[in-house]
Structure 1
Amino acid sequence: MDDGVTAVVIEDDDVVRDLLIDLFESAGVVAYGAASGAEGIEAVRAHDPLITTVDINMPGIDGLETTRRVRDRSSTHIIVVSALTEEADAVLALSAGADDFVAKPFRAREFRARIEAVLRRVKAEAGSTEGVSAPAAGTVPPSSIGSATASADASILVIGDLVVDRSTRIAARDGVDAGLTRTEFDLLAALMETGRRVRTKEELALVVRSRRGNADTRVSELETRTIETHVAKLRRKLDDDPTAPRYIETVRGVGYRLTAGAET
């Protein structure tokens, strides 16, 4: 990878922390270790990492609270690495803002593959935006009803007051960045790209997975529940009330789609 790509490893176990740092550095990523949640939050602020790993059971600020605070400050790709292996633990971690969950003990080669998948995705996104310039002020096209409209710049999708720029990966309402995580942005873009066609939870899980370089087509119940969690968080950030949705509606027992109409 290019110089400047960094990772932060928040882990109180010295052996595990050193192993994770070695895995990042073997993938060409400069990694910084932190032995506590407080140190990790500061390291994320200082180094602006592409990827951050967080242990759950740590003294002081635990991993869930650390994940929440990191997510509030950064769009870094958060991987929770934990000895807690119950489904509820994974759901809690993802609800706190994590993008991925890895159970201990983990396989070094598998974890390295996860790192490389994130790096490939970032490289692909960078390549797709080469030569794409930001639209001038006032050039955002008018909204359409019931579907997302592609602007003259094909990287931009619009519905009502919601503008999604796939080149910069920014989603904004009334010009204000909604602060979406990578997963939330991918889900929103996928829904806007297909409009009123229903996207099943399984299909959305595969969309998120494929954009991280994983071609596996098996979807677990945990992954579909994770999609529900991410969509709920996405709606909160968009100020989208599930009982009277402006952007995303639930098709009970199936999945999600754009609403039939949008406010202009």
Structure 2
Amino acid sequence: MNTPSILIVEDEPKLASVLRDYLLAAGYTAEICASGEGVVERVRAHPPAAVLLDINLPGIDGLSICRELRRFSEVPILMLTARVEELDRLLGLELGADDYICKPFSPREVVARVRAVLRRINTPAKVREAAVVLDEERFEARVHGIALTLTPVEFRLLGKLCGQPGRVFSRAQLIGALYADHRVVSDRTVDSHVKNLRRKLVEVGIDPISAVYGVGYRFELDDDVGSET
């Protein structure tokens, strides 16, 4: 069995070295690229299992690299960002990254995120989708066969979140999905809907919705770093 290889694209030598050491200790192989130059060609020639990609790189920046990679590859990309404000902007760009991690971060968290993304893409779709089933025509949701009593807004919220497991959605993105009339509502309103939906999911034995501080929410039913109980 081949050991998954992680490509670390990070121009801070000390941080890159620490990430590599933690990944090696977790059973992965790891390679470091200190700039954006040559990353696209490297991935094309030797596809890694995942890419840890810093945004602010010398030469070609991480945003451009992510766009180029998505033209030909579905390799999992975990973006490393410097600020929460920057993360919120990235979410609006729809870059196609699989996860976003804000600095400063724990190397253990990064390893957990890598493991979670790899587990998600290697889990058959039928297994991932079996726990939560949505019937859009009837506006019905079931969890492990148990029917949920949801409001229309809660149903749309669940569909948006579980439609892309692991992805971080900003509150603004969720508002756009919840209200067809594009009404203006506050972030607190979104938080209230999430709280009510999460309570109903907990009642049937799962807790897959987690908050990403300063940004929004993600749905992680099967991941190591999710909030399933």
Output the TM-score relative to the length of structure 2.
Answer: 0.58
What percent of counterpart residues are identical? 32
Report if the CA contact (8 A) 1:5-1:49 is conserved: yes
**Paired residue secondary structure (2:53):** strand
Equivalent residue number for residue 208 of structure 1: 164
Residue aligning to 1:91: 91
1:83 corresponds to which letter in structure 2? Answer: A
Q: How far off its partner does 1:101 sit?
A: 0.8
**Partner residue of 2:173?**
225
Note the alpha carbon deviations across 1:165-219, whole angstroms, 9 max, x for none. Answer: x58xxxxxxxxxxxxxxxxxx99x999963435552344324534xx5xxxxxx9
* Separation in 2, partners of 1:227, 1:75: 28
Task: State yes or no: 1:32 paired with 2:25.
Answer: no
SS of 1:90's partner is helix
Task: Give how far 1:44 is off.
Answer: 1.3
Give distance in 1, aligned partners of 2:21 and 2:46: 18
Give the distance between the partners of 1:102 and 1:221, measured in 2 at CA.
13
Instruction: Give the letter aligned to residue 135 of structure 2.
Output: T
Contact 1:205/1:224 (<8 A) preserved: no
Q: Shift of residue 56 of structure 1?
A: 0.9
1:194 is the counterpart of 2:135 = yes
Is 1:80 paired with 2:79? yes
Structure 1 runs of 4+ with >6 Å offset: 189-193
Report the Cα distance in structure 1 between the residues aligned to 2:26 and 2:110, rounded to whole angstroms.
11
1:46 corresponds to: 45
TM-score by length of 1: 0.51
Structure 2: distance between partners of 1:67 and 1:201: 28
CA RMSD of aligned residues (A): 3.7
Consecutive unaligned residues in structure 2, runs of 5 or more? 140-154, 183-189, 191-229
Determine if contact 1:205/1:223 at 8 Å carries over to the other structure.
Answer: no
Residue 121 of structure 1 deviates from its aligned partner by: 2.6
- Corresponding residue for 1:67? 66
Which digits, 9 at most, give the CA deviation of each residue in 1:39-79, with x for residues without a partner?
22122112212211111111111111111111112101111
* Inter-partner Cα distance in structure 2 for 1:15 and 1:227: 40
Residue deviations 1:84-132 (CA, integer Å, cap 9, x gap): 320533325x61221211001101222221122123334433xxxxxxx
Contact 1:85/1:103 (<8 A) preserved = yes
Number of residue-to-residue matches in the alignment: 165
CA spacing shift, 1:124–1:227, aligned 2, 3 Å: farther
Q: Report the Cα distance in structure 1 between the residues aligned to 2:42 and 2:174, rounded to whole angstroms.
A: 27
Report if aligned partners of 1:78, 1:99 keep a CA contact under 8 Å in 2.
yes
How many Å separate the matches in 1 of 2:90 and 2:135? 29
Change (3 A) 1:19 1:85: same
Is this contact kept in 1: 2:3–2:27, CA < 8 A?
no
**1:145 counterpart residue number:** none
Asked whether the 8 Å contact 1:52–1:76 carries over to 2, the reply is yes
2:84 partner SS: coil
Check 1:220–1:95 CA distance in 2 against 1; reply closer, same or farther (3 A cut). closer
Alignment-derived partner of residue 222 in structure 2: none
Residue equivalent to 1:11: 10
Name the CA shift for 1:190/1:19 in 2 (closer, same or farther; >3 Å): same
Aligned-pair CA distance for 1:17: 1.4
SS of structure 1 residue aligned to 2:170: helix
Q: Is the 1:82–1:102 Cα contact (8 Å) retained in structure 2? A: yes
- The SS at the match of 2:11 is coil
Unaligned runs of 5+ in 1: 126-165, 168-185, 213-218, 232-249, 255-264
Structure 1 partner of 2:21: 22
Q: Which residue of 2 aligns with 1:109?
A: 108
Indicate the residue corresponding to 2:120 in structure 1: 121
1:17-49: per-residue Cα shift (whole Å, max 9, x none)? 112222322222222211122222122112212
